[in-house]
Each structure stands twice: as C-alpha cells, then as structure tokens.
Amino acid sequence: MWAATLLFSAFLILFNYLYCVKPRNYPPGPKWLPILGSALSVSRLRKKTGSLAEAMAIFSRKYGPVLGFKFGQERIVICYGGLAIKEFLNTESLNGRPMGPFYELRTFGRNGILLTDEQFWVEQRRFILRHLREFGFGKRNMSEMIEAEADVMVNHIKHLIGNQKEISAPMDTMFGIHILNTIWTMLAGTKYNPEDSNLKYLQNILTELFKNIDMIGTIFSYFPFLIYFAPEYSGYNLYMKTHVPIWKFITQEIEKHKKTHVPGSPRDLIDVYLEMLAAPEKPASFTDDQLLAICLDLFMAGSETTTKSMSFCMLYLLLNPDVQRKAQTEIDMVVGRDRVPSLNDRPNMPYLEAIVMETLRHFMRRTFGVPHRALKDTHLCGHFIPKDTMVIPTFHGIFEGAECMWKDPYAFRPERFIVDGKVKALDMFIPFGMGKRRCLGETLARGNLFIFIGALLQNFDFKVPAGCKPPTTDTVDGVTAAPRPFRVLSHIVQRDPTITHTPAIVINNSLCMIYR
C-alpha cells in the first residue's frame, strides 16, 4: 500500500517537473503550471486588459519580442514587434501550419489552402492562383466585376432607404454578401442577392464563431478529451454548429457543378478542379475533400477580413468628416458621379488609396496572423523553437504598440501614407504578411476596399446627428478584431430645397448617410 502510494507520488512529482520545465533556450514567458501551462496567466491578463493583443503587449514589455507559452500539450510562441515578425515570416523552417483537432476537423484532415503546408500547399496554391487568374483574379476584368458589385451595393442601400420612414440593418452584415460575391463569382460563377436569407444565416453563424474563438484556438484545441466530456464548454459544439451548414452549402454548390459542367468548357474554378479530378493521371493531392476544403477556406477567409475592414472604415469615416470631404473632392475631380471608381483610377487618387491603407492599419492593430508551425528544430531571434511548436505573429506592436512607426497610432489619418502627393508605405506596413505565406487574397481585398469605399463616398455623406453620441472605437476580440456591434437605421431626412437628394441612414442613431 505504502509502496504504491510512494510510487504514485513519485510519478506525479516527475510528471509535474517534466511538464513544467521549458526546453533549453526556449523563449521567455510566464511559468508553466501542471496541465494548464500558461493558460491561466494569459486568461487573467486578457480579462484584465479586454484584449488578447493588449495582454501580449504587456507580456512583451516584461519578457521581450519573442514569447514562449504552453497550453495543455501545445507549445506556442508569440512574435511581438517588427524585427521579430520580419525574421519569423522570412524563416523557411517556420512556414508550416499547425496540427490538431481545431485545425483538422474543419477540412476533414489537413486539406484546403489556408492551413496546409510543404509540397501539398505549394502544388495546390499554384493551381488555384493560375486558374483564378483565368477568371479575372488580378486582371482588368476583376476591377469590372468589383465595380458591378459596388453598383449593386449602392443601389441596394438606396432601395433600403426608399420612401419609408426607417429601416434597420446591422453594419457587420451590410457588406458581407457583396464582398463574398467578388470571390465567389470566380470560384463558383455565382452571385447572391444581398437579401439572400441563407447567406445571411451563414454570415450570422460565422460572426458568432469568429467572436468566440481566436487565432490561438479554443479550449478543445489544447485539451481534446473535452470534446467528449464537455463539448459545450470546450467550444466544440459551437465549432461544429457553424461548420456543418457551411459544408452543406458548399457541397450543394459542387454537386450543381457536377450536373451542369461541360467537359472542356470550364466556367469557374470549381469546374476546372472537377476536370482535374477526372483526369486519369491527377496528382494525389487533388481530391473531392480538397475541393470542398478550398471552397471553405475562400468562403470564410475571403469575406471575413474584408467585411470587418469595411466596418472599421465606416466607423472612422463617421468620426472624421474632414476625411470624407477630402476623399469626395478627389472622387469628384477624377471620377465624377456618372461611373463607379475603378482600379485604373488608383494612380490619380492617392487620398482614397491612403484611406484604404489607413483602414487596413486600424483593422490590423489588434489582429494576429494565421498560426505557423516549426517544420523542424530551429531558432528565432536567438531562441530555440522545437519542431511542431506553433508560432503566431501579433501585429499590435507594428500598428499600435510603443515601437510602431506612427506618432499618433490611434488617429485615423490617411495623410500619413502620402509623401509629395504620392502614396508611400513604410517598411513595416505589412497587413497581408510577407514572404512565401503572404496572403493569397491581397489583390482582391485591396481592390474591394478601394472600389467599395470610393462608391460609398461618391454617393453618400456620413454624419453624426445633433444630440447623438459618436460610437465607441473599442473593439471586440475574436479571430480578428471587430468594431463593437451596431446597427444601421435608415430614415428620411427633412428635404432641403437646395439639395437634390436627402434620404439618410443612421448607425446607432449616430450616423447619417445622405445622398450627395
């Protein structure tokens, strides 16, 4: 009896010791507790600051630009600050993607383009980019496609206003379907009505998911046994509740293509991929599950970040009417009001392009990059990074923290990107990352923001009505930061005989959109 007790006690002591001891020269950070690792320290500081990015800023001030954590069995390294992030993103051995249930459940294993790596990722990314270009990606007709969708968006807003006294709509879903249409047209040859109830439902559940998880993962990421013993508490139920209807939606789209696709006459990327699947000597990486996973990645990542960027832009345009006036003057001089701005106008519209860049900077201030994985034992800024360690950059230090290159990081000031009348980005303006893992959708995202913002400012003014408080600039944590939820309320403003158009939209009783 005593021997068994002593043996068990010795086992526990040895287990705790081995669990809590960090690898030699591992990046510094808070102490590791048995089982929990750093989870409790991070949770407490995050709750205190209200933001995971702010918590990492405090840890960085104490421990340095490369931070070492452990959650359950998972080793996690956070890069904070420009020099550390630059070295990290350019280190070949850190270009892997994480493993585990959180990342593998969504695509039936390690499929897709967002969370795959090595030769599989290289082969699939090359194929996707090559064929997306055939359907407009990065070409002149991409601008035409975005322009058409921007025109639909403006007319939809005008229709919502109509002659009614008021119509309420949430800002976080105002642009989502329009942005999704710009990628989905090339991917699936389909455009959806902004009032499509199924797409609105999918957007709502995605918003809920992205609000309740983050780039570091969720509880069941680090303690997988909780999937079976505490599926609700661990976040597993929410995770599956969100993914199942999206899998169904995409599967139905692929099945439609299988029935209507004419071999040799592809209409979009799905058709091209189906032809590859039917090829007698197709590479092993091309499968039905991989096609579904690619569609899922582009559906989720392709709309979520740009939609949130648009929300940030609308928020800051409201709070900075002088920025609106300057942009509208530029639009009137270069484009006029008879057509939507196009990407060909960019060289002549530095201020609008600077608004896009300042929007991206504010969106990225509290955002983490997609997690990487060490493909082998390696080093980062002199610290040892063991194989399979997850490494994640936080852009807080670059765009907001004490070491950022902007004197007034909290202000929305597009002029910071204009030098001698031309747009100029600082060296560490990297909202889309850098290196081989640079965001695949950068061209489309920048194009969407330029044309959509331009079309809105071309047609509407944004004002804070008298007696109303401006909305807060506080953010909501999640996969990416988001403005605090607010709704759009449209109503008819008293008509001024000197102004041709006067309907308005009010956000949180704080924002007027007035026809110009």
181-220 pLDDT, tens digit per residue, is: 999 999 999 899 988 888 888 888 888 888 888 888 889 9
* pLDDT at 135 (0 to 100): 84
In this structure, the number of other CB atoms found within 10 A of the CB of residue 245 comes to 14
Strands (E), 21-163: 66-71, 74-80
Distances (CA, A) of 78 to 356, 384, 398, 439, 504: 28, 13, 14, 19, 45
155: left (phi over 0), alpha (psi -120 to 50) or beta: alpha
The upper half-sphere exposure of residue 34, i.e. CA atoms within 13 Å in the direction of its Cβ, equals: 7
**Which H/E stretch holds residue 281?**
none
Task: Name 71's bridge partners.
Answer: 37, 74
Block residue for tokens 């969407």: 448
Report the distance separating Cα 294 and Cα 206, nearest Å: 17
Total-model pTM: 0.90
Between helix 288-319 and helix 442-459 the angle, nearest 10°, is 40
The answer to whether 376 and 402 have CB atoms below 8 angstroms apart is no
The answer to whether 437 and 95 have CB atoms below 8 angstroms apart is yes
Per-residue burial over 330-350, b if 16 or more Cβ lie within 10 Å, else e, is bbeebbeeeebbbbebbeebb
Report the distance separating Cα 168 and Cα 178, nearest Å: 18
Block residue for tokens 């976080």: 172
The answer to whether 350 and 419 have CB atoms below 8 angstroms apart is no
Select from 124, 123, 75, 122 the least CA-distant residue to 99.
Answer: 75
Report the distance separating Cα 298 and Cα 113, nearest Å: 9
The answer to whether 82 and 397 have CB atoms below 8 angstroms apart is yes
Query: Which residues, other chains included, contact 254 with Cβ-Cβ below 8 Å and sequence gap of 6+?
Result: 270, 274, 291, 292, 295
Report the distance separating Cα 360 and Cα 354, nearest Å: 10
Select from 147, 173, 194, 182 the least CA-distant residue to 453.
Answer: 147
CB-neighbour burial class of residue 490 (10 A; exposed 0-12, middle 13-18, buried 19+):
buried
Question: Residue 387 is which amino acid?
Answer: K
Token pair recorded at residue 506: 């009010």
- Three-class SS of residue 338? coil
- Three-class SS of residue 368? strand
Report the distance separating Cα 379 and Cα 386, nearest Å: 8
Report the distance separating Cα 91 and Cα 385, nearest Å: 12
- Which domains are delineated in the chain? 2-515 (1.10.630.10)
In this structure, the number of other CB atoms found within 10 A of the CB of residue 145 comes to 23
Question: Residue 149 is which amino acid?
Answer: E
Select from 157, 240, 208, 251 the least CA-distant residue to 456.
Answer: 157
Low-confidence stretches of the chain (pLDDT beneath 70): 1-19, 163-173, 302, 464-468, 485-516
